[in-house]
Structures are given as C-alpha cells and as structure tokens.
Amino acid sequence: MKYLFMESKRPKVAVFDFTDCEGCELQFANKEETLVDFLKAIDIVNFREVMSEKSDEYDIAFIEGSISRADEIERLLTIRQKAKFLIALGSCACFGGVNRMKNKFPMSDVNKEVYGETPKETLPVRSIKELVHVDFEIPGCPVSKAEVERIVQHIIWEVPYQFPVYPVCFECKQRFTICRFELGELCLGPVSAGGCDAPCPAGGTPCWGCRGICAAPNFQEFFNLAKERGFSKEEVIERMDFFGGFRSVTGSK
Ligand code: SF4
Ligand code: SF4
Ligand code: SF4
C-alpha cells in the first residue's frame, strides 16, 4: 500500500484471547466504513474468532483478556517469545478488567459459588504486564476501533503514538452532555483517561473508568466532589475497582 509515494510495511498480525468476553477482538471486525482499508494495512495470520487458518509467524500479537489459569500462563509465554511486538488489548488485558473483582474473595469461595460441586482450576486474575513484557497497552471495555486504527497506523509508519492526556470530562463537555453529577449520579470522568469520546455519559450512564486513570488526576478534589454530592468513599472505591484500572489508588489486589 502506498501513501505519499512511500511503501508502508504490512505487518503480520495475530489476535489471541484469554479470560474475557471477546468484545475487544470483535471490534477488529467492526466499523465497516474503514474495515477494508484496515484489513489492507495489516496481514492477519491468526485470529480464532474470524478465521480458521493459523500461523505462528507474526510480528504483532494483540492479547485480549486477563490471565486466570496455569495453561493460560504457558500459552502467553509462548506468544511472547514469538511476537516482535506485544499489545495488551482492552481493560481485561491492561488491568485484569471486570474479572479482577474475583480477587476480592478466596478462590475456594469463588469456585463454590460458580461451579458448586464440580470445582475448576482458577487462579487470582492478573493483567498481561504482570506476567510478561508488554510493548503497548490499549485500554477500554471494549477498545475503540477508531483508536485501534490510529495506533496501527502509527505502528506501520513508525511514528510514536500519544494517548490524550485529558480526562473523560473534557470530551464529555465537547459533546454538550449533561453532567451525570447534576443528575445525582456518581461519575469517574474527572479522573479517568480520555480518548473514548465519552460515549457513556452521552448514552445516559456515568463513566465507570474503563480506560484507567488520566494523566494528571486530582483525587483529593474528586473525593471532595463525590462527598459533596452525597457519595461515600466506599462507594467511590467500589466504582473504581470495577475495571481494575485504579488499583494504585484503591489498593485492591
Ligand atoms: S475489556 Fe471488556 S469488552 Fe474487552 S474482553 Fe474484557 S470484558 Fe470484554
Ligand atoms: S458526566 Fe462525568 S464525564 Fe461528563 S462532565 Fe460530568 S463528571 Fe465529567
Ligand atoms: S466514558 Fe468512561 S466507562 Fe465509558 S468508555 Fe469512556 S472511559 Fe470507559
């Protein structure tokens, strides 16, 4: 493919899933208006959700999901050895995601509650970077396909990508959305990383912080604001623990 008379590289891409809902990898097949161009820019060689061919020769491995079983650790280590560039895709891969809530309980209780009399092997949930070196992280539950496209373009043209440094509130205000705090709801937008275009407040629900912490958060002010609006510290911390991206603040496992 040529752009400005320059030949771009067409990297071989593999997409792998672990403990997750497969929503992030599904984003790869979404956004039909640019899908053909996206598929021309990369050479997908291994992607269980959309194709039956499988190759172990790839440049970039996208890893979706968190790790919660011993066999997943082995598979992840093998992928890391083969990939030149490894990208954690989505909040499960970056932080542990919603799965991480299980770490609040003893694994034996989790097993009893979920599997009853037929217990399964289950480990405390870990993000990808807790086990192997990660070259790049794309947070979101699910990831934004537009952002994935932008990042892939930067990788192909070897131009560093800069995530937005502003919080979700910035994009929320750009959309003229009524603030969820004004509607009596708790919203993590003031301390959450922007870049998603604030779809949740615009769609009628507060931000739950799926992209993790923004670049320069003011947590003291945020906790003051939440208290002023009638929310306890426990409520705020419970919300922050939903996707696992605020553990440096909440101290959760
Ligand atoms: S980050 Fe969200 S959408 Fe992506 S795999 Fe995890 S639960 Fe699914
Ligand atoms: S709704 Fe949330 S993201 Fe939007 S301005 Fe209010 S606090 Fe910020
Ligand atoms: S508004 Fe918040 S919860 Fe919604 S996509 Fe953006 S960061 Fe995630």
Which ligand 2 atom sits closest to the C-alpha of 180?
1
Is-contact 83 60, C-beta < 8 A?
yes
Residue ranges around ligand 3 (CB below 6 Å): 168, 192, 196, 198-200, 207-211
Predicted confidence at residue 238, as pLDDT, reads 96
Q: What is the CATH number of the domain that holds 112?
A: 3.40.50.700
Tell me, yes or no, whether 139 and 173 share the same domain.
no
Is-contact 237 250, C-beta < 8 A?
yes
- Of the residues 98, 126, 156, the one at which a domain ends: 156
- Of the residues 101, 135, 156, the one at which a domain ends: 156
Which ligand 2 atom sits closest to the C-alpha of 189?
3
- Of the residues 109, 132, 156, the one at which a domain ends: 156
Tell me, yes or no, whether 96 and 201 share the same domain.
no
Tell me, yes or no, whether 205 and 98 share the same domain.
no
Report pLDDT digits (tens) over 172-199. Answer: 999 999 999 999 999 999 999 999 999 9
Residue 16, phi then psi, degrees to nearest 5 = -125, 145
CA distances from 134 to 62, 103, 120, 187 (A): 10, 22, 28, 30
Write out residues in the chain with pLDDT < 50, as ranges.
none
**Residue 65 falls within a domain, yes or no?**
yes
Predicted confidence at residue 6, as pLDDT, reads 67
Which domain, by its residues, includes 182?
A: 168-241
**Residue 148 falls within a domain, yes or no?**
yes
Tell me, yes or no, whether 210 and 100 share the same domain.
no
> Containing H/E element for 220?
helix 219-228
Distance 6 CA to ligand 1 centre (A): 36
Tell me, yes or no, whether 10 and 35 share the same domain.
yes
Q: How many domains does the chain have?
A: 2
Tell me, yes or no, whether 196 and 149 share the same domain.
no
Distance 176 CA to ligand 2 centre (A): 10
Does residue 11 have a cis peptide bond before it, meaning omega lies within 30 degrees of 0? no
Tell me, yes or no, whether 20 and 144 share the same domain.
yes
193 in contact with ligand 2, CB cutoff 6 A = no
Q: Compute CA 166 distance to the chain's CA centroid, rounded to the nearest angstrom.
A: 18
Report d(CA 31, CA 29) in Å as an integer.
Answer: 7
181 in contact with ligand 2, CB cutoff 6 A = yes
Tell me, yes or no, whether 94 and 174 share the same domain.
no
**Residue 70 falls within a domain, yes or no?**
yes
- Per residue, the 3-state secondary structure of 130-199, as one string, reads HCCCCCEEECCCCCCHHHHHHHHHHHHCCCCCCCCCCEHHHHHHHCCCCCHHHHCCCCCHHHEECCCCCH
**Residue 35 falls within a domain, yes or no?**
yes
Predicted confidence at residue 71, as pLDDT, reads 96
Amino acid letter for position 73: I
Does this model's pTM top 0.85?
yes
Tell me, yes or no, whether 12 and 94 share the same domain.
yes
Tell me, yes or no, whether 103 and 203 share the same domain.
no
Predicted confidence at residue 2, as pLDDT, reads 63
**Residue 163 falls within a domain, yes or no?**
no
Dihedral of the alpha carbons of 82, 83, 89, 91, in degrees to the nearest 10: 60
Tell me, yes or no, whether 12 and 97 share the same domain.
yes
Mutate to test the pocket of ligand 2, among 174, 180, 222, 229 (most ligand atoms within 8 A of CB): 180
Length of the chain: 253
Which ligand 3 atom sits closest to the C-alpha of 198?
1
